[in-house]
């Protein structure tokens, strides 16, 4: 999927739909390869996934179906054939997604299979482990209202972004982190392995504008996942770590590129919301503060990308577009 039109920073619902189609095509190709390799050793019907592949071609599937695929690969790598067999059968039974994005409370990972997968596929960094937990009902209820208000705000002030987010996301999962001293928590999270899902922490958002920014941010990670479905954004080895504009811990270059790009995406959305007149006076003042933050953070991220990133052609295009946006609107 070329990232040419209309530019990586400008939202496009049409591009979101194309990326989702391409991601499903790649999933089908990979699943067909895996089935050809394992149906014999696992005594499985080689046509086991035909029905699911038909559904993949017809429309979106749940993020957890993508997650099951990644867990299948890891099970095969580990030689855990029983788990692989169960995962293949689960994938075979996965339905199309009804449409969305659907806002879900994370269930208890200790007792719910889907929540457990969300937890495993979000908590993937051995250097920075963190927990996701079910949200308190009151917090979740308030956050749902803010999400609804945020979509209304984006619909009035940045409608193409609202449409793009609806095209990229199937599920918005509400989850909190532990608050005991010494534990780590998060504002939001996304994972290539959970294509179409984002996790938001309802403790962190006090207004519709903040949620609108979080939606632009986390869906921006999904956009990049889609844009690199046929190849990475960077050629850097993943071991060296760099200072991130949005994280206190050091991150691989792929993470720096992501953080820098989504900063430009949030900046663009705020400018659009301001220009549309959709913001209240209070929101406009908050937007002004956030815009200054984004300018500073982008400059910090860009300095590292410019100095140390070995961008692929796709990565160059994506980041040049982000840079153009910031230079044009903020002199960054």
Residues within window 285-324 making contact with another protein, judged by CB under 8 A:
290, 293-294, 296-297, 300
Cβ neighbours, 10 Å, residue 38: 18
Element housing 197 (H / E): strand 197-200
Shortest reach from residue 116's CB to another protein, in Å: 15
Binding track over 14-53 against another protein, x by CB under 8 A: ---------x--xx-xx--xx--xx--x------------
315 burial (CB, 10 Å; 0-12 / 13-18 / 19+) is buried
Q: Is 239 in the site for another protein (CB under 8 A)?
A: yes
Interactions with another protein, residue window 194-223 (CB under 8 A): 203-205, 210, 213-214, 217-218, 221
What would you measure as the largest C-alpha separation in the chain, in angstroms? 65
| Neighbour-count burial for 204-239, b at 16+ CB within 10 Å, e otherwise | bbebbbbbbbbbbbbbbbbbbbbbbbeeebbebeee
6 vs 240, beta carbon nearer another protein: 240
Which of 101, 147, 190, 272 touches another protein (CB under 8 A)?
190
6 vs 41, beta carbon nearer another protein: 41
Give residue for tokens 């760099």: 242
42 vs 107, beta carbon nearer another protein: 42
Binding track over 112-151 against another protein, x by CB under 8 A: ---------xxxxxx-x-x---------------------
Cβ neighbours, 10 Å, residue 108: 11
Binding track over 78-107 against another protein, x by CB under 8 A: xxxxx-------------------------
7 vs 252, beta carbon nearer another protein: 252
237 vs 277, beta carbon nearer another protein: 237
- The C-alpha angle 41, 47, 53, rounded to 5 degrees, equals 120
**How far is the C-alpha of 64 from the C-alpha of 50, rounded, in Å?**
19
Give residue for tokens 């294509």: 195
Shortest reach from residue 137's CB to another protein, in Å: 19
- Check: CB of residue 329 under 8 Å from CB of residue 298: no
């Amino acid at each position: 999927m070329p990232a040419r039109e209309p530019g990586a920073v400008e939202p496009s619902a049409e591009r979101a739909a194309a990326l989702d189609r391409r991601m499903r095509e790649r999933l089908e190709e990979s699943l067909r390869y895996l089935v050809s390799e394992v149906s014999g050793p696992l005594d499985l019907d080689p046509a086991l996934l035909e029905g699911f592949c038909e559904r993949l071609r017809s429309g979106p599937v749940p993020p957890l179906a993508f997650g099951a695929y990644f867990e299948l690969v890891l099970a095969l790598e580990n030689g855990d054939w029983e788990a692989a067999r169960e995962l293949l059968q689960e994938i075979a039974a996965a339905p199309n997604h009804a449409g969305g994005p659907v806002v879900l409370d994370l269930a208890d990972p200790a007792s719910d299979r889907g929540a457990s997968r969300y937890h495993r596929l979000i908590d993937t960094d051995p250097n920075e482990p963190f927990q996701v937990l079910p949200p308190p009902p009151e917090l979740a209820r308030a956050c749902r209202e803010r999400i609804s208000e945020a979509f209304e705000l984006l619909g009035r002030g940045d409608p193409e972004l609202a449409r793009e987010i609806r095209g990229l996301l199937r599920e918005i999962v509400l989850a909190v982190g532990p608050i005991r001293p010494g534990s780590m928590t998060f504002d939001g999270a996304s994972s290539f392995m959970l294509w179409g899902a984002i996790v938001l922490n309802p403790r962190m958002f006090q207004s519709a504008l903040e949620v609108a920014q979080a939606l632009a941010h986390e869906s921006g990670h999904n956009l990049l996942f889609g844009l690199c479905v046929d190849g990475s954004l960077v050629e850097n080895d993943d071991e060296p770590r760099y200072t991130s504009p949005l994280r206190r811990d050091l991150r691989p270059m792929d993470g720096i590129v992501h953080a820098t790009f989504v900063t430009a995406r949030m900046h663009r959305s705020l400018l659009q919301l301001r220009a549309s007149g959709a913001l209240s006076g209070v929101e406009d003042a908050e937007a002004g503060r956030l815009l200054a933050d984004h300018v500073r953070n982008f400059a910090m991220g860009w300095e590292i990308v410019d100095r140390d990133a070995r961008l692929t052609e796709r990565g160059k295009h994506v980041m040049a577009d982000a840079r153009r946006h910031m230079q044009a609107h903020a002199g960054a």
